[in-house]
Amino acid sequence: MIRVELLKLFRRPRTWMTIGLLDALPTVVAILLAVTGIGPRPGQGPAFLSAVLTNGSLFAVAALAIVLPLFLPVAVAVVAGDTVAGEAASGTLRYLLIRPVGRTRLLVAKLVSVFAFVLTAVVVVSGTGYLVGRALLGDQPLSAVAVTSVSGTSLTSGQIAGRTVLAIGYVAFSMLGVAAVALFLSTVTDSALSASMGALAILIGSSLLLTIDASRALQPYLPTRYWLSFIDLFRDPILWRNVLRGVALQGVYVLVLLGAAWANFTTKDVTS
């Protein structure tokens, strides 16, 4: 069943359109930076953009930072929100269930396919970022240049590569939280749009609360609180505190929401 779901996902033109659009924004940014040579002042604008002018290989991470606040969550919410609700709306859900595909099995297969999408999207975005960055921005041989970390000290190219992989993993895991919200909502409603929008509303609400001092007591528990903490992976030494908290928090969200999705989906009347 997992194989079937993956086939459905990757044979769908929309999947590749989404990934293509995700790639477009960082590419445009890279072209603008390369043409003008004007980077944001350090400390302003998306993370790493001031650093990439000297070394393009950091653009892999910069690309993630560019799409992370909005584009990537939107893409994940759209795909995850469509999983169950989309099948319900098109009527194919009932034919899958009477095939029969067990409801738990179907949900697990959907979850795996969403995870595959998240991973593909993140890897493609950072991969494109790396290639575009190397081609347009800094094209010094990697070994010759030491990259300056966010803390100001130098990182070797080996360190950068390892930390980039960690960052990709962290961002993917953060997106899994979005996917879990959207998947849960997708089992509640028969409208894929509502599920995606609902998940986005929660994320936007969370981001908004993060900017308000009065909600300080809530902030450590908001789903988007630690998203950008992957920047800490590029400090020297790595500042693990927020990264680990982020992983733990997302883990709790993912478990609780997937549990809720399972409980709801396995007992509900399928009337679509």
Partner 1 sequence: MITTHALTKRFGSLTAVDSIDLDVRPGDIYGFLGANGSGKTTTVRMLLGLVMATSGRIELLGQPVPAAAGRVLDQVGAMVEGPAAYGHLSGRANLGLLDASGSRRARGARRDRTERITQVLEQVGLAGVGRRPVKAYSLGMRQRLGLAAALLRRPRLLVLDEPTNGLDPQGIREIRDLLLRLHAGGTTIFLSSHLLAEVEQLCTRVGVLDRGRLVVQSELADLQAPTGRTLVRTPDAAAALALLDGRVEHRDGETLLVRGGDPAALNALLVGSGIRVRELGPERRTLEQAVLELTGPSSDRVEG
Q: Which residues bind partner 1 (CB under 8 A)?
A: 1, 3-4, 7-8, 11-13, 90-92, 94-102, 105, 267, 269-271
By beta-carbon proximity to partner 1, the closer residue of 88 and 125 is 88
DSSP state of 148: E
Q: Which of 259, 114, 127 is nearest to 178 (CA)?
A: 114
By beta-carbon proximity to partner 1, the closer residue of 7 and 24 is 7
Q: What is d(CA 181, CA 261) in angstroms, rounded to the nearest whole number?
A: 9
Q: What is d(CA 146, CA 159) in angstroms, rounded to the nearest whole number?
A: 10
Number of other CB atoms surrounding residue 172 within 10 Å: 20
**Residue 271 beta carbon to partner 1: minimum distance, rounded to whole angstroms:** 6
**Residue 236 beta carbon to partner 1: minimum distance, rounded to whole angstroms:** 49
Q: Which of 48, 53, 76 is nearest to 64 (CA)?
A: 48
**Residue 222 beta carbon to partner 1: minimum distance, rounded to whole angstroms:** 36
Q: What is d(CA 153, CA 146) in angstroms, rounded to the nearest whole number?
A: 9
By beta-carbon proximity to partner 1, the closer residue of 55 and 113 is 113
By beta-carbon proximity to partner 1, the closer residue of 8 and 245 is 8
**Residue 117 beta carbon to partner 1: minimum distance, rounded to whole angstroms:** 17
Tell me how long the chain is. Answer: 272
Looking up tokens 């997708």 gives 186
By beta-carbon proximity to partner 1, the closer residue of 73 and 86 is 86
Looking up tokens 């709790």 gives 252
